[in-house]
Amino acid sequence: MPRFHQSQCPLPATSWLLASTLPFLLIFTGAAIAQSESNPIVFKTDIRPLLETYCFKCHGAGKREGGLRLDHRTSALDGGDSGVILQAGKSSESALMNRLRSADDDLKMPPPGDDNKPLSNAQIALIATWIDQGAAWPLDPADAKLSSDHWAFQSLRDTDVPVVQNAPAVRNEIDSFVLARLEQAEIAPSPRADRFTLIKRLYYDLLGLTPSIEEVDAFVHDNSPQAYDRLIDRLLKSPHFGERWGRHWLDKARYADSDGYEGDRPRPNAWRYRDWVIKAINTDLPFDAFTRQQLAGDLLPEATHDQRLATAFHRQTLTNREGGTDQEQFRNEALFDRVATTGAVWLGLTIGCAQCHSHKYDPISQREYYQFFAFYNNGDETNTAVPTSDKAMTQYQTQMSAWNARTEQLNAELANALNIIEPHAAAWEADLRKRSEASPPEFHTLDFSELTAESSAAFQRLDDGSYLVTGNRPEKDKYSLTVKLDIAQVTGIRIETIPDSSLPGGGAGHADNGNFVLSDLRVYYGGLENPDIEHDRVTIARGRADFSQENYAVVQAFDSDTSSTGWAVAPQMSEPHEAIFTFDTPLERTDDAWCRIVLAQDYGALHTLGRLRISAVTGIDPRDELSPAAWEAFEIARNQRSEAQHNALLTAFAHTQPETRETLKAIAVHQKEEPQVPMMDVRVISQRTTNPRTTHILSRGDFLQPLEAVEPASFQVLHSLKPRSTGRPDRLDLANWLVDSSNPLTPRVAVNHVWSYLFGQGLVTTMNDFGLRGDAPTHPELLDWLANQYRGPLGWSRKALIKRIVSSGTYQQASWHRPELADTDPDNSLLYRQNRFRVEAEIIRDLCLSASGLLARKIGGPSVFPPMPPDVAALSYANNFKWNTSEGSDQYRRGLYTFFKRTAPHPNLTAFDCPDSNTSCVERRYSNTPLQALTTLNNQVFVEAGQALAQRALTDSAKSDEGRIASVFRRCVARPPDSDELAAFTDLLQESRKWYGEHPEEATLLAGKVPKGQPTPETAAWVTVCRIILNMDEFIVRE
């Protein structure tokens, strides 16, 4: 029973009013000082026997209470959970002495009672003197290295393929290893499974989809000896293979589409890494490169987009955005996760256990943990832009070259036209100068007769003709201002924004900082009755402002894009500003003409106008007819203009000329059609280049309690690290170390993973623990042989390894249980048969969709939102997340594309043991619950699959009930039904048919969408049958 340690209670148990407590830390005796230095204490003879007698029982190799070992020099000097226990030369500051001398029974060591003999005062004094003399603890040869004779840490053995008696049963070497063990145990292997089972097994294992009836028939009737091999090759080439095996990897990567923790915000671009995984597996990226890219893609020479993207593997860690969190704490949490995940996925070790204290079972010290941690400590969380997909990039390049060609063509056309009009430019310019001098611009402040706001805002007219907008500040607003316009030849309007002390920040807007965003300006001119119709809309040709905020140019207030962007003025909120909008053609004066000006302010966050004045503009300001560049040229004498200035003015002229206008318009349209580069930001890891962090051992894993500094290094118990350069080793060195030809763990662990997906359990059944507490391999020679093959001849090819395994006779055995062996080998650890196991959550969905023909086979892309009850998403914190159900074919994508929100995952996934993705999962669990039965019986997607299957049955070429039932049955489980099964389903069909014949309304509800002319009750009857077939055990079990 652990005693109450002080460190367990976060604050000293104290009366806070007691200004000074006398902590036990300060109590010490001076007895030891009496020992003279000329009488040095010898560790081996004086101290070690004391430790052995009084301490080893709880702090030895076995128990390691409090994470402390005193029988081993390195471990003892590293200290325990509470940190270092010895301060050489300073006994009074050494935690060990404090505990030996404590008056508090809860702290005193050895603990009083429990048959523990206390140390005498003289013995305590002896230890104190030893510490004061420098705590000399000589190296023991056994201490030099944390070594181990545990099987997993030994090099791969070059194992000979055994010779077996039953040679005909050997399809490849794997079988020799398995048969050798079986023959020893005098157990015969199971016969080869029938062809129906074999094709179903391969489809489930390699693609996670059902084979079609045609595919089954083709294989079953293929008498060639290569039939099975050809099937394997075909499936390994399918793009669905990458989805199936990619999902296995995503389990390990703890992939999700949200941050985790309280806020659990969506990560809308997370899917891009999923696409990387699918592609890497489909292109069979060798496992060593696969490893290097994901752990250190950013450090590869001239890293490509794909290689940088691969580092998103370690960006799947959680992000805590809860208010008031210490970001450094959660940066460390993410690093702990990266270390633990690397250990679990590549090494099959629980190295996370050494975070707070040296590992209790495996030879990994806490110091080594932080040396390993140091590799990751300088990998920063950053974003980088990558192509949204290879396909999109190729498309873009094609489109771009077409677009460039068109640009050249248009430019040539324009150049020709300009040549034609150029001689007339001077006359046009002189005319513009003359007109503007004859009628200079004038501004007529408008006094509106009607002012309304979409909010409850009120308009107060001030003496200067401006309006102050008062009332509750709405998030967004739209002002509608109407005036009878009795002015001739209005060429545009001017909006002045006027700062006001009554407004936030003394600006002209209502935002907290005084800003506003005018997102859309519309002017209508015509009869009053209904001035809002498009007919009366006045085209605004040009706008200019005395000042515009970066990225908030005035043009955005009247362009065709009606989104929330617009004209804003930060950081000059406290200055007055004006914007002048010029109409396409001046407004003709009529007798009863009304003008309505509508100012939309859709940006949100209170960015609405607070004080403004609007004037009608008459007369001509050349600036309003010219682009800024042309205006600049206009002000300069003709002969002093640069070529650019000349061209700017010529272009302005060209806008007024019919010969060139169309071309310019075409160019403007064309420019808007420039293809967008299909790039997107993704989360990656990038090596920190400035201020690299120093890594410290953290006492008890607490980032607030750093101990001594450490440098990146690998584990002593394994092969040595070979850095690429003499500097500090980095993540790429670590990745190289993991796939180094001397690493005994990585190939064994990787092979074991692949094996487990094909047999339902690994050769090492403790998938995540190859350490001392894990199980020994059932077939150690086979494991090493496969590991050697994978790393050597197979060149780390995942597909080649899978092919080797599924080609074996061992894999092809029937999976029927053999009750006579239930006592000898209940777990089938000798592999005398294949295993039967339920498929994963995503695959259950995929099987249903593929059998029923509903599956949308698109590979990759953003996550989708299949139907889900709204209250499930609402369960996450503050209901901050809307599940916008996908439409169309996106409702029927494979399960791995379902958006995964960590605090509220889709219930169809969790019901079938889908991992929570908060930590790496190298092995799924398989439970068998009533909620699963309810899901496949009643959930929408499964009912829809039943309906779709019913449609397929009713349009099947077979006309009899039996024939059609057999078709449905075969679509689901590949084999034809036997006569009992056929009879049972036929009975069900007939009863249902009768019932729905009498209950047409219910039939309509169950049948789903029924094609014209097809009787609904008949459809409904088929649905009842099809959904039961979809619920057969055999359907969701890999047999």
Partner 1 sequence: MRYSDIQTTRREFFNTTASGMGLAGLGSMLSDDGLLSVQNAQAAETQDPLAARDPHFNPKAKACIFIFMAGAPSHVDLFDPKPKLNELHGKPLPDSLLKNVRFAFLKKETATLMGSNRTFRPHGQSGTEFSDLLPNVGALADDLCVIRSLHSSQFNHHPGQLLMQCGAPRFGLPTLGSWLTYGLGSETRNLPGYVVLTAGRGSSGGATLWQSGFLPSLYAGVLFRNQGEPVLNLKNPAGLPPELQRRGLDVLQNVNRSRFQEIRDPEISSRIASYELAFRMQSAAPELTDLSGETRQTLNMYGIDRPEPEVGDSIGASAAGGTYKSFASNCLLARRMVERGVRFVNIVHASWDHHENLDRQISYNAKMVDQPIAALIQDLKQRGLLDQTMVVWGAEFGRTPLGQNDRADITGRDHHPYAFSMFLSGGGIRGGQAYGESDEVGWGIVKNPVHANDLHATMLHCFGLDHLRLTHRFQGRDFRLTDVGGKVIKELLA
DSSP labels for 609-625? Answer: B-EEEEEEEES--GGGG
Identify whether 571 is preceded by a cis peptide bond (ω within 30 of 0): yes
Q: Of the two residues 368 and 477, which places its CB atom closer to partner 1 in the complex? A: 368
Shorter beta-carbon distance to partner 1: residue 774 or 860: 774
Region binding partner 1 by CB under 8 A among candidate stretches 120-128, 154-162, 423-431, 818-826 = 818-826
Contacts of 905 (CB under 8 A, 6+ apart): 914, 916, 917
> Distance between CA atoms of 521 and 509, rounded to whole angstroms?
16
Identity of the residue, 663 or 1024, whose beta carbon is nearer to partner 1 in the bound complex? 1024
> What is the residue type of 384?
T
17-56: which residues touch partner 1 (CB under 8 A)?
A: 17, 19
- Nearest distance in Å: CB 985, partner 1: 6
Q: Which is nearer to partner 1, 555 or 707 (CB)?
A: 707
Question: Minimum Å distance from CB 382 to partner 1?
Answer: 24
> In the stretch 251-280, what mask flags binding to partner 1 with x, by CB under 8 A?
---------xxx-x----------------
Both tokens of residue 1024?
């009842």
| Rounded Cα–Cα distance for residues 683 and 857 (Å) | 27
Q: Which residues of 662-698 are buried (b: 16+ CB within 10 A; e: fewer)?
A: ebbeebeeeeeeeeeebebebbbbbbeeeeeeebbbb
Nearer to partner 1, 324 or 658 (CB): 324
* Sole binder of partner 1 in the list 361, 403, 428, 547 (CB under 8 A): 361
Range in contact with partner 1 (rule: CB under 8 A) among 243-251, 575-583, 642-650, 914-922: 914-922
Task: State which of residues 413, 475, 578, 981 lies at the interface with partner 1 (CB under 8 A).
Answer: 981
Shortest separation between residue 718's beta carbon and partner 1, angstroms: 17
CA nearest to 1008, candidates 952, 928, 930: 952
Judged by CB under 8 A, which stretch of 652-660, 673-681, 921-929, 954-962 contacts partner 1? 921-929
**What is the separation, in whole angstroms, between the first and last Cα of the chain?**
47
Residue of 190, 350, 515, 812 that binds partner 1 (CB under 8 A): 350
Contact criterion met (CB below 8 Å) for 712 and 734: yes
Closer residue to partner 1 in complex, CB, 16/676: 16
Give residues 855-874 in contact with partner 1 (rule: CB under 8 A). Answer: 869, 871-872, 874
Listed in order, strand segments (DSSP E) in 359-418 are: 379-387
Instruction: Based on the shown chain and the rule CB under 8 A, indicate whether residue 9 belongs to the binding site for partner 1.
Output: yes
Per-residue binder mask for partner 1 (CB under 8 A), 209-248, x = binder: ----------------------------------------
- Interface residue with partner 1 among 324, 658, 727, 888 (CB under 8 A) is 324
Where on the phi/psi map is residue 913: left (φ > 0), alpha (ψ -120 to 50), or beta? left
- Rounded-to-integer distance, Cα 815 and Cα 154, Å: 34
DSSP state of 464: T
Among 118, 266, 723, 760, binds partner 1 (CB under 8 A): 760
Q: What is the full DSSP assignment across 113-163?
A: STTPPPPPHHHHHHHHHHHHTT---PPPGGGSS-----GGGSPPP-PPPPP
148 binds partner 1 (CB under 8 A): no
Residue with tokens 């960590």: 902
Whether the CB-CB separation of 357 and 394 falls below 8 Å is answered with no
Site string for partner 1, 576-615 (x = CB under 8 A): ----------------------------------------
Number of other residues whose CB lies within 10 A of the CB of residue 1033? 11
- Considering the rule CB under 8 A, would residue 186 count as an interface residue with partner 1? no
Per CB under 8 A, the list member of 194, 229, 233, 322 interacting with partner 1 is 322
Least distance (Å) between residue 454 CB and partner 1: 23
Q: Which two tokens stand for residue 940?
A: 């929408």
Q: By CB under 8 A, tell whether 16 contacts partner 1.
A: yes
Of the residues 14, 539, 560, 691, which one makes contact with partner 1 according to CB under 8 A:
14
Please give the angle made by the CA atoms of 586, 590 and 595, to the nearest 5 degrees.
Answer: 65
Place of tokens 């290094």: 713
Among 934, 960, 963, 1014, binds partner 1 (CB under 8 A): 934
Separation between Cα atoms, residue 914 and residue 905, nearest integer Å: 9
Q: Nearer Cβ to partner 1, position 1 or 34?
A: 1
Question: The tokens of 486 are what?
Answer: 């009795």
Q: Exposure string (b/e) for 323-360, b if CB count within 10 Å is 16 or more? A: eeeeeeebbbbbbbbbbbbbbbbbbbbbbbbbbbbbbb
Q: 84, 107, 232, 1028: which one contacts partner 1 (CB under 8 A)?
A: 1028
- Contact code string over 692-721 relative to partner 1, x by CB under 8 A: ------------x-----------------
Rounded to the nearest whole angstrom, what is the least distance from the CB of residue 891 to partner 1 in the complex? 17
* C-beta separation of 432 from 704 below 8 A: no
Point out which span in 154-162, 520-528, 675-683, 1024-1032 binds partner 1 (CB under 8 A).
1024-1032
Residue 306 C-beta: closest distance to partner 1, Å? 30
Contacts of 858 (CB under 8 A, 6+ apart): 889, 893
Q: Which of 795, 937, 976, 997 binds partner 1 (CB under 8 A)?
A: 937
Determine the Cα–Cα distance for residues 798 and 324; give it in Å rounded to an integer: 45
Is 736 or 917 the residue whose CB approaches partner 1 more closely?
917
The upper half-sphere exposure of residue 272, i.e. CA atoms within 13 Å in the direction of its Cβ, equals 28
Contact predicate 682/269, CB 8 Å:
yes
Query: How open is the CA angle 201-202-208, to the nearest 5 degrees?
Result: 85
Q: Work out whether 931 is an interface residue with partner 1 (CB under 8 A).
A: yes
CB of 84 to partner 1, least distance (A): 18
Task: Tell how far CA 391 is from the center of its chain.
Answer: 21
Q: Under the criterion CB under 8 A, does residue 1002 sit at the interface with partner 1? A: yes
Is residue 386 near partner 1 by the rule CB under 8 A?
no
**Interacting span for partner 1 (CB under 8 A) from 52-60, 227-235, 323-331, 549-557:** 323-331
Among 46, 536, 923, 956, binds partner 1 (CB under 8 A): 923
Distance CA 520, CA 555 (A): 10
* Smallest separation, CB 1001 to partner 1 (Å): 8
Region of 480-488, 585-593, 612-620, 902-910 interacting with partner 1 (CB under 8 A) = 902-910
Answer for which of 117, 221, 925, 1012 binds partner 1 (CB under 8 A) is: 925
Question: How far apart are alpha carbons 953 and 961 in whole angstroms?
Answer: 9
Least Cβ distance, residue 888 to partner 1 (angstroms)? 22
495: contact with partner 1 by CB under 8 A: no
472 lies in the site for partner 1, by CB under 8 A? no
> CA-to-CA distance for 277 and 272, rounded, in angstroms?
9
| Among 70-78, 233-241, 354-362, 792-800, the segment contacting partner 1 (CB under 8 A) | 354-362
CA dist 532 and 537 (Å) reads 7
Is the Cβ of residue 54 or residue 985 nearer to partner 1 in the bound state? 985
**DSSP label at residue 191:** P
Residues that bind partner 1 (rule: CB under 8 A) add up to a total of 121
Does 950 bind partner 1 (CB under 8 A)? Our answer is no
**Smallest distance, partner 1 to C-beta of residue 228, A:** 22
Judged by CB under 8 A, the chain residues 838 through 857 that form the site for partner 1 are 838
Specify the stretch interacting with partner 1 by CB under 8 A; choose among 414-422, 454-462, 539-547, 978-986: 978-986
Tokens at 497, concatenated:
């924004």
Residue 910 half-sphere exposure toward CB, CA atoms < 13 A: 13
